[in-house]
Structure 1
């Protein structure tokens, strides 16, 4: 015991002149809550992929437990939206004129856009609504907006069966183009996750953003060809306006999904270099949103 005390005193004498930074470097200490490098953060996130899926599945299961129809609302919500839009825009405003198989055209647009809409809205609230979890457990905070994107993807996959029935009933055949669903959903999921992470950081700092986002999303929906054909406007609009509208990512995902599921939508209706543009949107927004979110990692849950 005496020898241990002597050794401890000697160590204290050696460290007496060192600054806190020098002491941390000497003994391999690091700042609590320090943001890891991008590579280390990505490895941590990948190691928790099972947690992300399990958390998303649990949240999705609990989402409709209080409703008598339960999980059926996953399908009923977009169907009811489509019915309302058909009545207002298709019948009263006549946007169905000139669009073959308007019912399928509308339903695909509603289902696909709702995937992006729900991912962005839930991503905006993902940090502010889960402060208890963030402060109680240590994990990469990007798990939350990604998990909420997975929830919306699961909802969309559940709804795709009903959408397929609608498309078949309205006269569209099953073709090899249906296989394009896989890359389209993959690219849209990357885009949605990046946008959800981008908005998660903003929503964590500015909680009022959650109140503003529904109005922004609704405006975006009106310019994304969900229930009307953008081509009826772009051919007479100024070139720069037409260029912006045609490269709107929500419109591109809608048009690609319609092209894959509906023979009445020809390839000529798609924007030029559509796959290259879609890939660019997915990579830029996906990677950009991820890095933007990571740079504020140590700030989430504080204050």
Structure 2
């Protein structure tokens, strides 16, 4: 023990005060949110490596490998178009329904996959959690990073579909970048919150497919948003139009397409998107952080 510590002990200073004076902290102490954020930043290379490993393990055993990152959203869009655009005819004679539908499918799929994978971020990595010391938020964040990379690839496919459909390239296409940033923040918060919820209430994972399907139907993914204005009024319409996924999808459609009716004015949609991104990203982070010491126990 340093001589200064011995001297302090001899004068009757409390152990807590001794620890504070000499920079000692409890090994089981929950870091504050700011300090925890700094620790996460220090583990950014670990998060990136873990995300790359997850991608390699998921696609490395297939013959087409990373090409599935392009094929999966394209096939999904084709299936939905055949069922809802051709067979059921949900487009209602809408001009250029193919890119309208594809934007909804691609954008919703980005959040849907992030949430579904985020729910398993803790429970599927219990061995890693119990073997190594690292900020547990690294796991849901690596899940979100994997899906961000996949979505960037999928956006290349979506842009090709939009161009083939005849939509012109305009300056509004530049809005895609800030929209993506807001949705990425939203998805990270959803992955963090879902990871803690999935680790504590494991049965909820069985409900996720039903919840996501209901959410998709309420986000005007498969049909024009005018269906809501035709059948809903008052607070019910306002509630549906405030749906965060509807807001993000409408912003993408506004950026990539011309002459379409939106669920609200662009200014309102941007305001709602910023609020949702801020509330969910911060709220999800704080919710996950509060449970940091309990992950992997039991």
Settle same-fold status: TM greater than 0.5: yes
The reply on whether 1:93 has 2:100 as its aligned counterpart is no
1:301 positional shift:
1.0
1:228 equivalent in alignment to 2:223: yes
> Deviation per CA, 1:157-184, whole angstroms, max 9, x where unpaired?
1111111111111101111111001100
Partner residue in 2 for 1:63: 58
Which of 137, 143, 152 is matched with 1:148 structurally? Answer: 143
Matched, 1:73 2:71: no
Equivalences for residues 178-217 of structure 1 within 5 A: 178-217=173-212
Structure 2 unpaired stretches of 5+: none
Give 1:244's aligned residue: 239
Larger Rg belongs to: 1
1:210 & 1:268 partners in 2: Cα distance? 31
Contact 2:250 2:262 in 1 (8 A): no
Instruction: Give yes or no for contact 1:108–1:163 (8 Å, CA) kept in 2.
Output: yes
Could you tell me how far 1:31 is from its partner in structure 2? 3.4
Provide closer, same or farther for how the CA distance between residues 223 and 103 of structure 1 changes in structure 2, counting only shifts above 3 A.
Answer: same
- How many pairs does the alignment contain? 292
**Cα offset, 1:25, TM superposition:** 6.2
| Residue ranges of structure 1 left out of the alignment (5+ in a row) | none
Q: CA 1:268/1:190 → structure 2, altered by over 3 Å: closer, same or farther? A: closer
Task: Return the TM-score normalized by structure 2.
Answer: 0.90
TM-score (norm 1): 0.89
State the Cα RMSD in Å.
2.3
CA distance in 2, matches of 1:165, 1:288: 36
Paired position in structure 1 for 2:134: 139
Post-superposition, which runs of at least 4 consecutive aligned residues in structure 1 deviate over 4 A? 17-29, 266-272
Give the deviation of 1:109 after TM superposition: 0.8
Relative distance call for 1:262 and 1:92 in structure 2 (3 A) is: same
- Select 2:121's aligned residue among 126, 134, 141: 126
Contact preservation (8 Å) 1:256, 1:270? no
In the alignment, the residues of structure 2 paired with residue 132 and residue 189 of structure 1 have an alpha-carbon distance, to the nearest angstrom, of: 28
Quickly say closer, same or farther: Cα 1:96–1:261, change in 2 above 3 A: same
**Distance in 1 of aligned mates of 2:269 and 2:145:** 25
Q: Paired residue for 1:169?
A: 164
* Structure 1 contact 234–245 (Cα < 8 Å) conserved: no
State the Cα distance separating 1:139 from its structure 2 match: 1.4
Q: What CA distance in whole angstroms lies between the structure 2 residues aligned with 1:198 and 1:180?
A: 28
**Structure 1 residues 72-91: Cα deviation after superposition (integer angstroms, max 9, x where no partner):** 21122222221221122112
Aligned partners of 2:258 and 2:50: how far apart in 1?
38
Aligned-partner SS, 2:95: coil
Q: What is the CA distance between 1:266 and its match in structure 2?
A: 5.4
Aligned residues of 1:255 and 1:270 also touching (Cα < 8 A): no
Q: Which shows bigger deviation, 156-165 or 262-271?
A: 262-271
Deviation for aligned residue 1:92: 2.2
Say if 2:152 is the partner of 1:157: yes
Q: Give the 5 Å matches for 1:17-56.
A: 29-56=24-51
The whole-number CA distance in structure 2 between the counterparts of 1:240 and 1:69 is 48
Q: Is the 8 A contact 2:192 2:284 kept in 1?
A: yes
